[in-house]
Amino acid sequence: MRMLVWVLLILLPLTSSVHASQSEPKQVVMLLWRGVTDAERGFMEYLSSKVDVKYTLLDAKRDKATLSQYVENIEQYNADLIYTFGTTTTLTLLGTEDKPSNFRTNSSTPVVFSIVTDPVGSKIVSSTTESKRNFTGVSHIVPHQVQFNAIQKLPNVETMGIVFNPLENNAVITARKIQMLSAKFGMDVYLYPLRTKDSKPDLSSLSSVIDTMLEDKVQLAYLPPDSYIISQGKGIVDSLHKHGIATFSATESPIRKHNALFGIVSRYYNVGEFAGHKAEQILTQKRAPQEVAIEPLSQYSYIVNIGAARTLDYYPPVSILKISELIGGNEWQE
């Protein structure tokens, strides 16, 4: 009996230690490009409802030097998982398949990315079914063909122009892919990169871009998934609309916050939730990232800004209005 008591006394501290270990929160480092967006809110709210998590937020504030410094020191956080926002951040951390980063080659820390436009086009992976990888994630862009189908329904749109930051990889990829599809849909598509200055986009070049668009008889400006265009959306959209050029956005924010006219989008919050679900599978179900699919959302949202439609005196057809969320003019819906 005395020996049994001694055994129990020895085991009790070990048992307490195991329980303490199990209750420790998971450490998630979030590598951000332009602060906390709805994608991060969706990610954190979903994951925190499933797992005890402690978050460390590293915001590069759209500065590549700051981002590179964060990546260089990221292992010091001893993260259980790293979240990355956007193509630029994800590429900086992981590199490409043919030019992998030191982190990608040597780290065992799993990564979940979110708001990456085209993981294959940006060469993060050669295909979304690539098996040898320590990361997974969610793409947020509605297929370009789906976007074109909707744009074709807009009245009097024969020529479209894409305004983008030429320094942003995902924006360049999108612009080229849209232009390649233009012949199939019988539409003229021109590319209008902003001028750059000191290795940064120069917004003062927008006025000359718009002058060229007017010369080219552009009726619709396409706003790609471009962090710079999104961040400067108010000035860009206002300038385009002032000159009678309607706007179609591939992302949600320019429509909701900056009065772009129309778009078909994957909502950032939902993308973040989906990324959170993938993180949950890795952290709690012990699934390897290569077993968790890289994929987009399967449902999209049509959004029409009625306030912008009034400003332009240009309305999408009823077939689009019927399936869209109408914002910016609630009294119009009554």
Measured N-to-C along each axis, helices 169-181 and 144-152 cross at an angle, to the nearest 10 degrees, of 50
Q: What is the pLDDT of residue 329?
A: 73
Q: Does domain 144-265+300-327 have CATH number 1.10.10.10?
A: no
Distance CA 257, CA 233 (A): 8
Contact 187/220 with Cβ under 8 angstroms? no
How many angstroms separate the CA atoms of 161 and 212, rounded?
A: 10
Question: Where does 26-139+267-296 sit in CATH, by number?
Answer: 3.40.50.2300
Q: Is 328 strand, coil or helix? A: coil
Q: Give the C-alpha separation, 225 to 264, whole Å.
A: 12
From its phi and psi, is residue 28 left (phi > 0), alpha (psi between -120 and 50) or beta? Answer: beta
The reply to whether domains 26-139+267-296 and 144-265+300-327 share a CATH topology is yes
Indicate the DSSP class of residue 117: S
Phi, then psi, of 166 in degrees rounded to 5: -70, -10
Q: What is the predicted pLDDT for the residue at 10?
A: 43
What is the C-alpha separation between 322 and 150, in angstroms, rounded?
A: 13
Please give the Cα distance from 247 to 220 (Å, whole number).
6
Residue in 154, 151, 157, 159 with CA at minimum distance from that of residue 315? 154
Contact of 162 with 220, CB cutoff 8 Å: no
User: CA-CA distance, 288 to 6, in Å (whole number)?
Assistant: 41
pLDDT tens, residue order, the chain (334 aa):
444 434 434 444 444 444 434 568 999 999 999 999 999 999 999 999 999 999 999 999 999 999 999 999 999 999 999 999 999 999 999 999 999 999 999 999 999 999 998 999 899 998 777 678 999 999 998 999 999 999 999 999 999 999 999 999 889 999 999 999 998 999 999 999 999 998 899 999 999 999 999 999 999 999 999 989 999 999 999 999 999 999 999 999 999 999 999 999 999 999 999 999 999 999 999 999 999 999 999 889 999 999 999 999 999 999 999 999 999 875 444 4
Tokens describing residue 105:
């080659």
Two structure tokens written together for 194:
């902003």
The one-letter amino acid code at 209 reads V
List the chain domain ranges.
26-139+267-296, 144-265+300-327
Q: What is the pLDDT of residue 330?
A: 58
List the structure tokens of 307.
């306030």
Let me know: does 251 contact 140? Beta carbons within 8 Å.
yes
Q: What is the C-alpha to C-alpha distance for residues 42 and 88, in angstroms, rounded to an integer?
A: 20
